[in-house]
A and B are shown apart, each in its own frame.
Chain A
Amino acid sequence: MLKNRHVTGWLQAAPLSLILAGFLILPIATIVTVSFWQATEFSIIPAFSMENYAFLFGSDVTYRVFLATFKYAAITWALTLLIGFTVAYYLAFHIRSQTVQIALFLLCTIPFWTSNIIRMISWIPFLGRNGIANSTLIDLGLIDAPLEWLLYSDFSVILAFVHLYTLFMVVPIFNTMMRIDRSLIEAAYDNGASGWQTLMHVIVPLTKPGIMIGTIFVLTLIMGDFITVRFMSGSQKANVGRLISNDISLLQYPSAAATAVVLLCTVLIVIGILLRFVDIRKEL
């Protein structure tokens, strides 16, 4: 029996499958089930009712909040792509020593292994009313009164997103760029392409898989976020994640579950579209 690769395969994958079954599939199935339940002020009642969805789709708030979520995702995606691509390009094509390359790459990735919460908190002395940004601008004579929109605004939310998630772009793009055959770039130069033409017609097309993987990371992280928006906007802005977490804190689990199901479908549709452009298994 053990000679059969399917049997040994499943035996070796058993712990993984059990964990994913118990903590990924089962929770999602529960959420889907509960999203059809009803809630009173004191308890939740098993039922099959479309009430939660009817309320969700009948409310203006839902559309506004989803729109806000897409807005955060789109702006942050554009910024992280621009910054991430530039950084990866610099590391992959302008650094000649491999040791320096690894060192600089690590320098970019180390923050990923530290706490997001603390990295958010650390913007406060910078952006606050009497923070470094405002006092510097006042000292330079550029503004008379402190800017109020630096902290607890869309600006600070997006700033934090870019700060937290740019490395999710840098790493896959860098990884793809390192696999580009250098002779293709030499060939482009030999055929008279300028630096810019080589970048746009050789490097960018060959980097697309990395860009797609980075995009998947950034979009899903932002669409599912609730804590960055809550903290960086001082609870003044909303996105879908916050809608869910607010319902949870009010113990409105069926309503939270319905919103979660809609969010999950949205994320899966986005991923489904992006996966058409990249074969992840080939990129590993």
Chain B
Amino acid sequence: MEKRSRSFYVLTAFFALFILFLYGPTLTIGVLSFQGPQGGLTFPMNGVSLHWFRDLFEEQAVGDIWGAFRRSLALGLMVMVTTVVVSVMGGLAFRKRFAGSGALFYLIIASLVIPSILISLGVGLIFNQFGLRVHWATSGFGSQLTWTLPFGLLIMFAVFNRFDRSYEEAARDQGASAWQTIRFVVLPIIAPSLIGVALFGFTLSYDEFARTLLTSGSYNTLPLEIFGMTTNVTTPVIYALGTLTTLFSFLIIGAFIVTVWGLGKRRARLGSDAGKGL
């Protein structure tokens, strides 16, 4: 192996600083959420306690945090399932290069780059005009899909661009129907990417703010609840909440990554018996 150049060490230091920049603030509030009961929003630590976490679990805690968490969780799962199903169907459709697919592609890009507040305002106005009540599970759900679907579809495009069609041809040659080809050949091959799409669908919805702002109605999702707290809560309880929900996000991300990794292992073990004959 050739010797590392000096620029390698400089860049390593730069990368380390970048990681510190990314995670440092989050770690800081992680530490500060263990402030003592008299502690404030900054250092020094005034003792160490679980006081602020206990505050979160008590009834009189500010706002309806647990209700908001349950709604965000439910909405995240709804958005996740919808994103996966719609993205796979969309991905399959785009392989056919149907008339109008170019325009639909640019619509997807538009959905990604349009300022979120426009979706929020527009959907809010429509519901208003038709006398419908905005609700997180209807208007909020649809608005969030305009943010998660482009990511899901871009992943599916990348997947299908690299997809080896000879697997499908082999399946058809052996007499598989169109549905069997998709169910037993295509879907298992793209499964790890679908888990990626699901991860985007859930986490982007769970943390979504701007598109949900005017479309969630009287029941807040968790990010809206947390943002509301920033204006009237001046104790470390907000750090405790931030730490808990960040840990929850890490847990979800970790679970997804482990699943993809496990699928890869399983595939490596069972996938091919090439070279195992004689």
In the bound assembly, the distance between CA atoms of A281 and B112 in angstroms comes to 15
Q: Which residues of A contact B207 (CB under 8 A)?
A: 113-117
Chain B: which residue is nearest A235 at the CB level?
A: B231
Residues of A with C-beta under 8 A to B250:
110, 114
Nearest CB of chain B from residue A210's CB, rounded to whole Å: 13
Q: Is the CB of B18 within 8 A of A17?
A: no
In the bound complex, residues from chain A placing their C-beta under 8 Å from that of B200 are 113
The CB with the most chain A CB atoms within 10 A, among B8, B204, B253, is that of B253
Chain A residues with CB under 8 Å of B210's CB are 224, 226-227
Q: Are A284 and B158 in contact (CB under 8 A)?
A: yes
Contact of A130 among B23, B42, B253 (CB under 8 A): B42
B126 at the interface (CB under 8 A from A): yes
Which residue of chain A has the shortest Cβ distance to B160 in the bound complex? A284
Among residues of B, the one whose C-beta sits closest to the C-beta of A111 is B22
Residues of A within 8 A of B238 (CB): 121
| Proximity string of chain A (113-147) to chain B, C-beta cutoff 8 Å, 1 when within and 0 when not | 11111110111111010111001000000000000
Decide yes or no whether B145 CB sits under 8 A from chain A: yes
- Classify chain B: how many residues form its interface, as a range: 35 or more
A59 within 8 Å of B (CB atoms): no
Given the complex, which residues of B lie within 8 Å of A276, measured CB to CB? none
Known: A27-B118, A132-B43, A227-B210. A114 touches B249 (CB 8 A): yes
Contact of B113 among A11, A260, A271 (CB under 8 A): A271
Measured CB to CB, the residues of B under 8 A from A are 1, 5, 7-8, 11-12, 14-15, 18-19, 21-26, 28-29, 32, 41-43, 85-87, 89-90, 92-94, 96-101, 104-105, 107-119, 121-123, 125-126, 129, 142-143, 145-146, 149, 153-154, 157-158, 161, 199-200, 203-204, 206-207, 209-210, 214, 223, 226-227, 230, 238-239, 242, 245-246, 249-250, 252-253, 257
**19 A–B pairs (Cβ distance < 8 Å), ordered by A:** A5-B98, A9-B98, A15-B89, A16-B153, A20-B108, A23-B146, A27-B119, A27-B123, A28-B122, A94-B8, A113-B252, A114-B207, A114-B249, A115-B206, A115-B207, A118-B242, A132-B43, A231-B230, A257-B121
Q: Interface residues, chain A, CB within 8 Å of chain B?
A: 5-6, 8-13, 15-17, 19-20, 22-28, 30-31, 34, 83, 86-87, 89-91, 94, 96, 104, 106-108, 110-111, 113-119, 121-126, 128, 130-132, 135, 163, 166, 195, 216-217, 220, 223-227, 231, 241, 244-245, 248, 253, 256-257, 260, 263-264, 267, 271, 280-281, 284
